Every structure is written in C-alpha cells, then in structure tokens.
Structure 1
C-alpha cells in the first residue's frame, strides 16, 4: 500500500504590535522560515491548549525579554507558503509593555535582531503579519 499523503492542516501563530509612547513599534528580524531575514512582529506558535493571548505574552518575553499585556485584537492574518507546505493563521494583537526593560534578542537561532522603528522609517522587507498588523493599527488611529 502506498504511503498516505501528509495531513495538511493550518498552523496557528500569533504576533504583537508593541508601540511606545513616541509611536515607535518593536520589530524582530526572523532567523527562520517562513520569511527568514524579514522584519516582523514578536510572537510565535500557539501551543496545544494554550490561549492565544497567553501565547503572545509568553512569546514576546521569550524572544525579547519584555513583559507585555494584551490590549486588543488588531486583525487575523492568513499566510500561505505553498513552497514550504505551510499555511499559518495568525491573530495579531496590540500589546503594551509593563515595565522599562530593554528589548533584546533572547533566541539567537530564531531572532537575528530586535529594534524599535518609527512608522515612517520601517525596515524592509516586512513579514505579512507585520504589514497587515501595522496597517490595521494605522487605520484605527
């Protein structure tokens, strides 16, 4: 009997738009596929039986050292990577920092760099989630 085809299911990841009082947003440069080398939102894969909002808080702290609180959902991004055989569904949240800690890349294999950028001086290329999340933030004022 031939091997069954692999099960193709969407995966769930999430991201956080973290904005300072001066309007700058925190972005991370991705060290892994999909979108390796692109600048995106801190966040990551949702674990089994974990609330998405809890994933946002956990992933931001694991990746950058920042403690955050989720404020609201900005959008949900559908990200298709046919060449990698991946389909991601990614809720993007607005979050705020809870202290004055400095953001730093704490997962060097996954995050190449961490930096704050003003909306009129964003780096390129941006991930799909960052592009859509920042556009939604801008449109909501």
Structure 2
C-alpha cells in the first residue's frame, strides 16, 4: 500500500513479531539515511513500536511494517490482516486520566507529523509520516 506521492529513495519491509527490540533496531538502521535529529528519531521509533505492539495485542500477532524514504519524509505503514482498527479518528483525543488503554494511537499522533488509519477488505494500516529536516 503506497501513499502514491513520490518515488521511493529506499524501501524495506519487515514482519512484525514478538521481538520488538529487533524491529526497533532495524528501524533505526533504516532511519540513518534520513538524518533525523536524536529526538525526532526516538519519537518515530517509539511511535512505530507502539503501532507494532498494537498489531501483536489486537490482531492475532501477524503484520508487516513497510518503511519508505521519500523526498522530504519517511513513511511507515504498519499493516495487519485482521482489520479490526476501523476508526480513522482513533487517538484524536487524549484518553481520560486513569484510562488503562487508548494511549498508543494518541501517542503516535502526538509524536508524528501525520497519522492516517486506513481500512479495507485486506486489513488495517496505520500510516505514520515524519518530515525530514530541512
């Protein structure tokens, strides 16, 4: 699933498994080329980790992470086949104080420049975008 807005400078796809530490290491290695500052990189890695964790917790544990380095931005698409995430507005508001759930997508929206939630018969995709430094 591409966002249709430019040619890939680089592209990788990883399966999502219970080894989130390994996934984060692969993400950081991919982001080297993007030349994010330390805070931006950490924010993006955290957001991706939250999205991958949601796949493990809510969709039977199977999914993929596709990362694309495009002109001016990095786009990550976290896809699961279960398709349970259907609300494109999920995470728009901070969860109530004391809530035990609902922080993941809200955190992604807080950390990334853009978050889209897409749903089709093939499943659900969370698309996270981080703009590159000027």
TM-score computed with the length of structure 1 as normaliser: 0.25
The structure where strand makes up a greater share of residues is 1
User: Greater RCO between the two (CA within 8 Å, min separation 6)?
Assistant: 1
Between structure 1 and structure 2, the one with the greater Rg is 1
TM-score computed with the length of structure 2 as normaliser: 0.26
